[in-house]
Amino acid sequence: MVKATRMPRNEAGIETALGVLKQRFGERLNTGQAIREQHGHTTTWIETQAPDAVVFARDTGEVAEIVKVCAAHKVPVIAYGTGTSLEGHVNAPAGGVCIDLMEMNKVLAVHGEDLDCVVQPGVTREALNTHLRDKGLFFPIDPGANASLGGMAATRASGTNAVRYGTMKDNVIALEAVMADGTVIRTGKRAKKSSAGYDLTRLLVGSEGTLGVITEITLRLQGIPEAIRAARCSFPSVDAACRAVMATIQYGVPVARIELLDEMCVKAANAYSKLDLPETPLLLLEFHGSEAGVAEQAETFASIAEEVGGNGFAATSSTEERNRLWKARHDMYWACLQLRPGAKGIATDVCVPISRLAECVGAAQAKAEELGLLAPIVGHVGDGNFHCSMLIDMDVPHEVEMAETYIAWLNELAISMDGTCTGEHGVGQGKRPYVVRELGEAVRFMGAVKAALDPDNILNPGKIIAE
Amino acid sequence: MVKATRMPRNEAGIETALGVLKQRFGERLNTGQAIREQHGHTTTWIETQAPDAVVFARDTGEVAEIVKVCAAHKVPVIAYGTGTSLEGHVNAPAGGVCIDLMEMNKVLAVHGEDLDCVVQPGVTREALNTHLRDKGLFFPIDPGANASLGGMAATRASGTNAVRYGTMKDNVIALEAVMADGTVIRTGKRAKKSSAGYDLTRLLVGSEGTLGVITEITLRLQGIPEAIRAARCSFPSVDAACRAVMATIQYGVPVARIELLDEMCVKAANAYSKLDLPETPLLLLEFHGSEAGVAEQAETFASIAEEVGGNGFAATSSTEERNRLWKARHDMYWACLQLRPGAKGIATDVCVPISRLAECVGAAQAKAEELGLLAPIVGHVGDGNFHCSMLIDMDVPHEVEMAETYIAWLNELAISMDGTCTGEHGVGQGKRPYVVRELGEAVRFMGAVKAALDPDNILNPGKIIAE
């Protein structure tokens, strides 16, 4: 494991707060080691820093109560969803109380006419879509994991559909949140747009629990499209695939998904998902619209692909075939692990202007080879966003060091290309130094906002803002 | 005129700062009464509060210099674009220095492959679109006025195209801004998405110059659609028109524009723009897409409209006819003024969930009649947003009072319908009390953000946050 930053613990405060919370919540205040460690453990290579206690909150009032007790004693509060973040977001470097929000899992309202819904933070995206299905509606954001919508809002999640439907910043209409002093606020109403003052909604989206604990989310929904068509196309090189992506976006084809798998990923997918794809770079696509619309989109893409040397274009309207393709895409992490059994998969992501994508992916592949790393690449390339999953033997210090070198190099490269060190993984503990490299003086003003809204630094301390 | 809130003036500071700035900028520091009053005057009924001086800044460095001088002496700084805001946004209730940004009017870069551009704040939306035309690109946000892009970002502007392309919050990728201490920050890179910390971009968008002075804007662009088709359809009632809108949005028709004109507006348009429309509620639409796509959209809308009793549906691909329709829509303000020559047009706007739109518009019409007001209604109804333009004889105190009563009542009604007191006009001075009604405790946290980023309250004081 990679060492996480330490922070001083307020032992006296923690003891007092735990005492008060024990009286209030009794057995519901969990202090067992297993449950605590589980709540610091995520899909990351950063070591686990467990909280001192975990409470499963049942409603906003309880969250506010817990925050007030912690505020009174200056004790950290860490909000927790499904624990699928990647950069140590839920670690407790100064200890404190973890609020697990997964029991707050009700869909509170669906307003079909307004294409919105109101959910508690513990509703997962799959649960929401199951709930919506018979209403002809869906929520499009899909970060891969079956994450909680509270966590997705808190980390400004996106994923495969973002090229068409945007990220969480575009799909959260309003939030209810418990602020650092325990005050419950609502950042907006259900109007589709508003110019009523500072955009607290989008300030909280992506704030990773450091400015408030999200307790209710009003989300924008979409009608399930009349027609959905999936497609795939192979390319002689990453460069050719990226040129096809660029032309598709520029041409205004409203692709719902356009995903790149590099050669190594295609090999992994063939082996793991029993596919028979040509082992060259691949684009996977999905088109949403009317029957005529998706046919037109698929045709336009096919001719663009052909122009840059694409081959084996195949489109399908069969739900079964489509699910098979996307399951292979979603299983990519597990498929890649099979390229080197026993290795740990270390994921990092960057996002660059699409004109620099081919160059960035090409350089990333070359650098991995130079450092002797296996680092397959998949990408939400319509947004210029891609992921490298290094396969590392964590018992070999040299490999860990090479992986750290690679991540630092890749983040710097993306920044130098006018891109970002984190397209969708957030900052957590891991990306803090790169955010400073990327945004410079602006980070000081983020710090000022944090200090203003959370003067005692109790909300998820040690994340986003580098100390 | 309606009285604006007064604020105490820092006379000594203003005198000193003006002296320092005079030495630095010479004749470019304008203190003549006419130019000062022009820079406090906007399209509003709130009285003008002129600044003490106006400087036309030429670059970011100059803006930073001016802000630093003002910060040193605790003197207000008001950023100014085209002066087309509606709620007293650029008034100087405590005096101070107005920075006119209209000489910073360069398009700095257009990245066609990435569908983005970088502009200075004084570029107007029309100037940008003229610049982009031969590149096959356009910038969609159209608030009606030929506003500056800096002003549009600062006020989170939207307008007719927002139903398809979103508001400024969705179309600003990153900003450069001068903060209250004179520090120049950049809030993001050019990547299409990022999860690198707090969303300072969207915190500044809509902050109305109270958190920073925007000096550079990276904007998302669109390809000019292959086909554009305009259409109009009359309806027996506002209710029927709103039901057509609701069904169109729910059905997922990607309308680029869908505008409501009530009976009174249609009468005004017929008279002013020499049209011959049936004098019943009207929807004006625009469809963007491929040839086949726009035809399909128009057909879908036509059959929806027919179902709810729409009549006289007419679509056109002729640019000339389309421009004629939209010119009539854009001239609505002037057309309405002709309904009562000599009257002043007082515009207010609200935005509600689309399911409440018919009820809200209907109630607004009835209330105006009850109060004896002429208040024609136009609306960006695809977003649930509409405007009332009361025609008031400002010399009759009772009329002014009735208009104030009406605005207060309408804002409360929108809020009670889970909507907002300002869909796109911003807060300025005029809407401050309603924002508190709408967002309650959240406004206190807006105040905390303001105090953190501008501790001496020098940036456009007296706006957004009620004292």
pLDDT > 70: percent of chain A = 100
CA distance B401 to chain A (A): 24
d(CA A350, CA A335): 21
Structure tokens at A371: 């450092």
Scanning every residue of chain B, which has its alpha carbon at the shortest distance from the alpha carbon of A444?
A: B185
Last residue of a domain, one of B201, B223, B245: B223
Structure tokens at A266: 């295609």
Structure tokens at A364: 């990333």
From residue B380, alpha-carbon distances to B90, B96, B124, B143, B260 in Å are 25, 36, 21, 10, 7
Residues A295/A231, Cβ–Cβ less than 8 Å:
no
d(CA B393, CA B385): 26
The SS3 call for residue B396 is coil
The pLDDT score that the predictor gives to residue A3 is 86
pLDDT average, residue stretch A43-60: 94
A459 falls within a domain: no
| Ranges assigned E (strand) in A6-151 | 29-30, 53-56, 77-80, 97-100, 107-111, 116-119, 137-138
d(CA A67, CA A213): 9
CB atoms under 10 Å from CB of B247, counted, come to 18
d(CA B294, CA A252): 14
The pLDDT score that the predictor gives to residue A307 is 97
A232 falls within a domain: yes
CA distance B238 to chain A (A): 17
A92 falls within a domain: no
Residue A43: closest CA among A159, A168, A146: A146
User: Between chains, do B191 and A352 touch, taking CB under 8 Å as contact?
Assistant: yes
> Are A242 and A327 part of one and the same domain?
yes
> Are B239 and B305 part of one and the same domain?
yes
A·B CB contacts under 8 A? 282
Mean of the per-residue pLDDT values for chain B? 96
Element (H, E) at B12: helix B11-25
The pLDDT score that the predictor gives to residue A467 is 63
Provide the domain count of chain B: 3
Max Cα-Cα span within chain A = 70
> Are A207 and A259 part of one and the same domain?
no
Residues 6+ apart with CB under 8 A from A394: A1, A45, A344, A400
Residue in A115, A117, A198, A299 to test binding to B, most B beta-carbons within 10 Å: A198
Residue A318: closest CA among A326, A310, A330: A326
The SS3 call for residue A235 is coil
d(CA A207, CA B362): 40
> Are A114 and A219 part of one and the same domain?
yes
Q: At B371, phi and psi to the nearest 5?
A: -85, 0
The pLDDT score that the predictor gives to residue A5 is 86
Residues B279/B267, Cβ–Cβ less than 8 Å:
yes
Kindly give the pairing relationship between strand A77-80 and strand A97-100. Answer: parallel
> Are A214 and A273 part of one and the same domain?
no
A442 falls within a domain: no
Element (H, E) at A389: strand A385-392
Kindly give the pairing relationship between strand B282-289 and strand A137-138. Answer: unpaired
Residue in A168, A194, A239 to test binding to B, most B beta-carbons within 10 Å: A194
pLDDT average, residue stretch A382-411: 96
Structure tokens at B321: 């006819």
d(CA A305, CA A235): 8
Structure tokens at B385: 């947003």
User: Between chains, do B252 and A207 touch, taking CB under 8 Å as contact?
Assistant: no
Residues 6+ apart with CB under 8 A from B142: B125, B159, B160, B161
The SS3 call for residue B5 is coil
Residues of chain B with Cβ-Cβ distance to A193 below 8 Å are: 158, 162, 167, 351, 383, 385, 420, 423-424
Last residue of a domain, one of A403, A423, A443: A423
B178 falls within a domain: yes
- At A403, which amino acid appears? A
CA distance A416 to chain B (A): 10
Q: What is the pLDDT along chain B (467 residues), one digit of tens a residue?
A: 788 888 999 999 999 999 999 999 999 999 999 999 999 987 788 999 999 999 999 999 999 999 999 999 999 999 999 999 999 999 999 999 999 999 999 999 999 999 999 999 999 999 999 999 999 999 999 999 999 999 999 999 999 999 999 999 999 999 999 999 999 999 999 999 999 999 999 999 999 999 999 999 999 999 999 999 999 999 999 999 999 999 999 999 999 999 999 999 999 999 999 999 999 999 999 999 999 999 999 999 999 999 999 999 999 999 999 999 999 999 999 999 999 999 999 999 999 999 999 999 999 999 999 999 999 999 999 999 999 999 999 999 999 999 999 999 999 999 999 999 999 999 999 999 999 999 999 999 999 999 999 999 999 999 999 76
> Are A181 and A232 part of one and the same domain?
no
Domain of B119: which CATH number?
A: 3.30.465.10
Domain of B348: which CATH number?
A: 3.30.70.2740
Residues A88/A428, Cβ–Cβ less than 8 Å:
yes
Structure tokens at B10: 């820092």
Max Cα-Cα span within chain B = 70
Residue the block writes with tokens 């406004």? B443
> Are A200 and A329 part of one and the same domain?
no
> Are A241 and A169 part of one and the same domain?
no
Residue A157: closest CA among A433, A450, A423, A446: A423
User: Between chains, do B427 and A185 touch, taking CB under 8 Å as contact?
Assistant: no
The pLDDT score that the predictor gives to residue B467 is 63
Residues of chain B with Cβ-Cβ distance to A435 below 8 Å are: 196-197
Domain of B292: which CATH number?
A: 3.30.70.2190
- Domain assignment of residue B134, given as a range: 107-223
CB atoms under 10 Å from CB of B180, counted, come to 24
Tell me which residue in B185, B251, B385 faces A445 most closely, judged by beta carbons: B185
Residues B294/B227, Cβ–Cβ less than 8 Å:
yes
> Are B219 and B233 part of one and the same domain?
no
* DSSP letters spanning B39-89: TT--SSSBPP---SEEEE--SHHHHHHHHHHHHHTT--EEEESS---SSST
A156 falls within a domain: yes
Residues in chain A: 467
> Are A159 and A176 part of one and the same domain?
yes
Q: What is the pLDDT of residues B242-275, one digit of tens each?
A: 999 999 999 999 999 999 999 999 999 999 999 9
Task: Assess whether pLDDT exceeds 80 at residue A230.
Answer: yes
What DSSP designation does A148 have? B
Last residue of a domain, one of A173, A203, A223: A223
Q: What is the pLDDT of residues A334-378, one digit of tens each?
A: 999 999 999 999 999 999 999 999 999 999 999 999 999 999 999
User: Between chains, do B203 and A198 touch, taking CB under 8 Å as contact?
Assistant: yes
Residue B133: closest CA among B147, B151, B144, B117: B117
CA distance A32 to chain B (A): 32
> Are B363 and B404 part of one and the same domain?
yes
d(CA A152, CA A143): 8
* DSSP letters spanning A160-226: TTHHHH--HHHHEEEEEEE-TTS-EEE---S-S---SSS-HHHHHTTSTTSS-EEEEEEEE-EEPPS
The pLDDT score that the predictor gives to residue A42 is 74
User: Between chains, do B415 and A211 touch, taking CB under 8 Å as contact?
Assistant: no
Residues A205/A169, Cβ–Cβ less than 8 Å:
yes
* DSSP letters spanning A285-348: EEEEE-HHHHHHHHHHHHHHHHHTT-EEEEEE--HHHHHHHHHHHHTHHHHHHTTSTTPEEEEE
- The whole-model pTM stands at 0.97
Question: Given CA atoms B400, B402, B403, B409 in this order, what sign does their dihedral have?
Answer: positive
CA distance A4 to chain B (A): 19
Residue A251: closest CA among A286, A284, A309, A297: A297
CB < 8 Å & 24+ apart, contacts of B74-77: B74/B10, B74/B13, B74/B456, B74/B458, B75/B10, B75/B13, B75/B14, B75/B17, B75/B458, B76/B51, B76/B458, B76/B459, B76/B460, B76/B461, B77/B213, B77/B458, B77/B459, B77/B460
Residues of chain B with Cβ-Cβ distance to A451 below 8 Å are: 452
- At A306, which amino acid appears? E
B5 falls within a domain: no
Scanning every residue of chain B, which has its alpha carbon at the shortest distance from the alpha carbon of A185?
A: B442
Tell me which residue in B206, B425, B465 faces A199 most closely, judged by beta carbons: B206
Residue A207: closest CA among A248, A245, A169: A169
> Are A203 and A265 part of one and the same domain?
no
Residues in chain B: 467
Residue in B168, B186, B198, B413 to test binding to A, most A beta-carbons within 10 Å: B198
Residues of chain B with Cβ-Cβ distance to A191 below 8 Å are: 351-353, 383-385, 414, 418-420, 423
B92 falls within a domain: no
d(CA B410, CA B121): 33
- At B217, which amino acid appears? I
Residue A219: closest CA among A170, A291, A165: A170
ipTM of the complex: 0.97
Domain of A386: which CATH number?
A: 3.40.462.10
Residues of chain B with Cβ-Cβ distance to A449 below 8 Å are: 198, 203, 449, 452-453
From residue B416, alpha-carbon distances to A113, A177, B65, B390 in Å are 18, 21, 45, 22
Residues A96/A78, Cβ–Cβ less than 8 Å:
yes
User: Between chains, do B423 and A194 touch, taking CB under 8 Å as contact?
Assistant: yes
pLDDT average, residue stretch A27-43: 92
CA distance A133 to chain B (A): 15
d(CA A350, CA A421): 5
The SS3 call for residue B314 is strand
Residue in B164, B170, B194 to test binding to A, most A beta-carbons within 10 Å: B194
User: Between chains, do A186 and B290 touch, taking CB under 8 Å as contact?
Assistant: no
Q: What is the dihedral of CA B67, B73, B75, B77, to 10 degrees?
A: 0
The pLDDT score that the predictor gives to residue B301 is 98
